[in-house]
Amino acid sequence: IAYIAITGGAGFVGSHLTDKLMMDGHEVTVVDNFFTGRKRNVEHWIGHENFELINHDVVEPLYIEDQIYHLASPASPPNYMYNPIKTLKTNTIGTLNMLLAKRVGARLLLASTSEVYGVHPQNEDYWGHVNPIGPRACYDEGKRVAETMCYAYMKQEGVEVRVARIFNTFGSRMHMNDGRVVSNFILQALQGEPLTVYGTGSQTRAFQYVDLVNGLVLLMNSNISSPVNLGNPEEHTILEFARLIKSLVVSRSQIQFLPEAQDDPQRRRPDIRKAKMMLGWEPVQVPLEEGLNKTIQYFSRELEHQA
Amino acid sequence: IAYIAITGGAGFVGSHLTDKLMMDGHEVTVVDNFFTGRKRNVEHWIGHENFELINHDVVEPLYIEDQIYHLASPASPPNYMYNPIKTLKTNTIGTLNMLLAKRVGARLLLASTSEVYGVHPQNEDYWGHVNPIGPRACYDEGKRVAETMCYAYMKQEGVEVRVARIFNTFGSRMHMNDGRVVSNFILQALQGEPLTVYGTGSQTRAFQYVDLVNGLVLLMNSNISSPVNLGNPEEHTILEFARLIKSLVVSRSQIQFLPEAQDDPQRRRPDIRKAKMMLGWEPVQVPLEEGLNKTIQYFSRELEHQA
Ligand SMILES: NC(=O)c1ccc[n+]([C@@H]2O[C@H](COP(=O)([O-])OP(=O)(O)OC[C@H]3O[C@@H](n4cnc5c(N)ncnc54)[C@H](O)[C@@H]3O)[C@@H](O)[C@H]2O)c1
Ligand SMILES: NC(=O)c1ccc[n+]([C@@H]2O[C@H](COP(=O)([O-])OP(=O)(O)OC[C@H]3O[C@@H](n4cnc5c(N)ncnc54)[C@H](O)[C@@H]3O)[C@@H](O)[C@H]2O)c1
Ligand SMILES: O=c1ccn([C@@H]2O[C@H](COP(=O)(O)OP(=O)(O)O)[C@@H](O)[C@H]2O)c(=O)[nH]1
Ligand SMILES: O=c1ccn([C@@H]2O[C@H](COP(=O)(O)OP(=O)(O)O)[C@@H](O)[C@H]2O)c(=O)[nH]1
Ligand SMILES: O=c1ccn([C@@H]2O[C@H](COP(=O)(O)OP(=O)(O)O)[C@@H](O)[C@H]2O)c(=O)[nH]1
Ligand SMILES: O=c1ccn([C@@H]2O[C@H](COP(=O)(O)OP(=O)(O)O)[C@@H](O)[C@H]2O)c(=O)[nH]1
């Protein structure tokens, strides 16, 4: 049993990670400012003796725990572009604050992103090619420098760090207003609204179900301090994806083409050989269609609750 | 007459900029924590009614002035690698603090760097390709995210920003222990010690004299808010450079080949068409040999003072 903090633990990925770690019998403290996260995502644990929920902004310091899963950061483009200054502060000051882990000897896992690369597919040695001053920069450069900070604290202060470069992930508990493609398409399909494809839809993404959290836990407890890609190498165009979701929902929605988003990466796909070899991890437990069906079920229940 | 703050104003570039702006009749406040800067570099202005010198670390907030030249940051590889965490804090927290310029409506010029590119030559539209977790990352990623912060404050808070991407610069007042190539070679040549070439010496750099500060002032007072390269396009190998300095000093020093530095950029050269066209600036006033001779004079006087 470990004493574990999860920043961003009331969010999409964080709440699934909370479930897994609580189920494994650990003491879990969720640290979240509820910007995109919700108490509901973890409320089934409230009252459990191993669980604590703290309303706290990582831009302010905090001193706790054996292990810190540092997920706190807006993750969806509309969310991180809503207040780019706050996104930068969360990823810079917020990460520096969590690295004060050195004071308590905790190990920190940073939820980094495929966005640090810009160009795909890549293995973990690629340095990246991203726009430092474009609309996505608050997130991309925020995460890049957060990685730099982790390794500076590792080398200079002996803090134990783990860096997960997470690729596109979907599942239940994504926020209804999240704005990322999977929740958008599912909600649109369920409501009979047009599926909004930005650009031609020929850009690709590779989507993993949120059982990703198993990979995070394996990485945290491994001795791999260098960055590790976690994702599903199965690559699809956004248009294929729109069609797939339409057919799984059995929806009559149209597909609507909207203007391309600025600096939208044209291709994204993980090279996960390192995760396979070093962690024995692969995203095989929940295949794409099964994951999508679970997520469709989740959102249709959410819509019923709302109505 | 403007009220101007220069962070890092007691350093190499900053002290020359101080001279120029004082000579132009402005009120100048130098803000420096004296990490690599020295009071001596600006002491000829102490007592002048338009001059103020503040011992202040930019990692703490400060509220001042019409214009802020934000130069505070270790700049030489040995200096910025001495304490990577501090370098990251100076460039992230330090830049955020200076962008509170929004509170007083000041305009901020960031002394950014050619290092944001990694691969050369490039114009200002190139996104860059640098190692986010290597030994140079605390500086490269620190400066990249500092640029991101500037543009986030510009778009979101209306702060007026200017971003100078400065290329290798040399001249008087470089610290004797600075560790960058020009001061190293000159001091070695003057003292009859071997000139230390890292690697084969076939890597290139393009060196400008510190009259660069004219470019900084032109940029600050222009209406160009996008990044501008400032440098001398005259590119030389480090070995050519060692030979040139040896001959200008008329030194009997040997040339000694040492191991290559990790992640050392193999080529660097500015594309300065934008500065020429938009600012009417070119680094022509002091040609390379003349600049080197002035710098050699400076260091030989420094050595005499020491003896
Ligand atoms: N889901 C993906 O596809 C994906 C891909 C790559 C990386 N990631 C990373 O995984 C992490 C979680 O992403 P997610 O998809 O669960 O998004 P999310 O928006 O659901 O979760 C982010 C959580 O962080 C919290 N938060 C934001 N700023 C905070 C602050 N300053 N202080 C405290 N809490 C704060 C939010 O309230 C929310 O609960 C993020 O760091 C994200 O960058 C996710
Ligand atoms: N000289 C070059 O070739 C070159 C090239 C590209 C960019 N730049 C940039 O120009 C600026 C000046 O470089 P330089 O060559 O004069 O180096 P320098 O080391 O001589 O000057 C840096 C100055 O900043 C001060 N400083 C450092 N950290 C500080 C902090 N936390 N608070 C307050 N002051 C602090 C130092 O004491 C010093 O006076 C730097 O931002 C550097 O990144 C220089
Ligand atoms: O993680 C967060 C928390 C808040 N906000 C939004 O940012 C704005 C300012 O929030 P706060 O005062 O916490 O941040 P500041 O910019 O003052 O540091 C508000 O509109 C919040 O909704 C945000 O974008 N991300
Ligand atoms: O309603 C939407 C939302 C997103 N996208 C596209 O889907 C891809 C994935 O976008 P998302 O916002 O999910 O995350 P990203 O991978 O870009 O960070 C991008 O090419 C978007 O332009 C889309 O076509 N329609
Ligand atoms: O701009 C600076 C100022 C200080 N230091 C060095 O960093 C260490 C700690 O300095 P400080 O306490 O100011 O920084 P902290 O890391 O605590 O924020 C000391 O060895 C200083 O010599 C540095 O590298 N850069
Ligand atoms: O004593 C020295 C110092 C530097 N260099 C090389 O000179 C170039 C310029 O190094 P500097 O530290 O001046 O700055 P950089 O341009 O790398 O930031 C690099 O290729 C260094 O490896 C060298 O050969 N000998």
Say what the pLDDT of residue A44 is: 93
Considering chain A, what percentage of its residues have pLDDT values greater than 90?
Answer: 71
Q: pLDDT by residue (tens digit) across A281-306? A: 999 888 999 999 999 999 999 999 88
Mutate to test the pocket of ligand 5, among B31, B32, B83 (most ligand atoms within 8 A of CB): B83
Nearest CA in chain A to B80: A152
Of A203, A175, A180, give the one whose Cα is nearest residue A266.
A203
Tell if the CB–CB gap between A152 and B88 is shorter than 8 Å.
yes
Nearest CA in chain A to B86: A152
Of B143, B122, B116, give the one whose Cα is nearest residue B233.
B122
Q: How much distance in Å is there from the Cα of A258 to the middle of ligand 3?
A: 29
Q: Looking at residues A184-190, what average pLDDT do you find?
A: 98
Say what the pLDDT of residue A98 is: 86
Q: How confident is the model at residue B219 (pLDDT cuts 50, 70, 90)?
A: very high
Considering chain A, what percentage of its residues have pLDDT values greater than 70?
Answer: 99
Q: How confident is the model at residue B132 (pLDDT cuts 50, 70, 90)?
A: very high
pTM of the model: 0.85
Residue A171 has pLDDT above 70, yes or no: yes
Q: How confident is the model at residue B65 (pLDDT cuts 50, 70, 90)?
A: low
Q: pLDDT by residue (tens digit) across B158-200? A: 999 999 999 999 999 898 999 999 999 999 999 999 999 999 9
- Amino acid at position A128, single letter: G
Say what the pLDDT of residue A123 is: 94
Q: Contact, A208 vs A232, CB < 8 A?
A: yes
**Distance (Å) from the C-alpha of residue A291 to the closest C-alpha of chain B?**
33
Q: Which two tokens stand for residue A195?
A: 């599926």
Tell if the CB–CB gap between A132 and B155 is shorter than 8 Å.
no
List of residues 6+ apart from B2 with CB closer than 8 A:
B26, B27, B66, B67
ipTM of the complex: 0.83
Say what the pLDDT of residue A224 is: 97
Q: Looking at residues A36-49, what average pLDDT do you find?
A: 91
How many other CB atoms are found less than 10 A from the CB of residue A134?
Answer: 15
Which of the residue ranges A21-25, A95-99, A137-141 has the most confident prediction, judged by mean pLDDT? A137-141
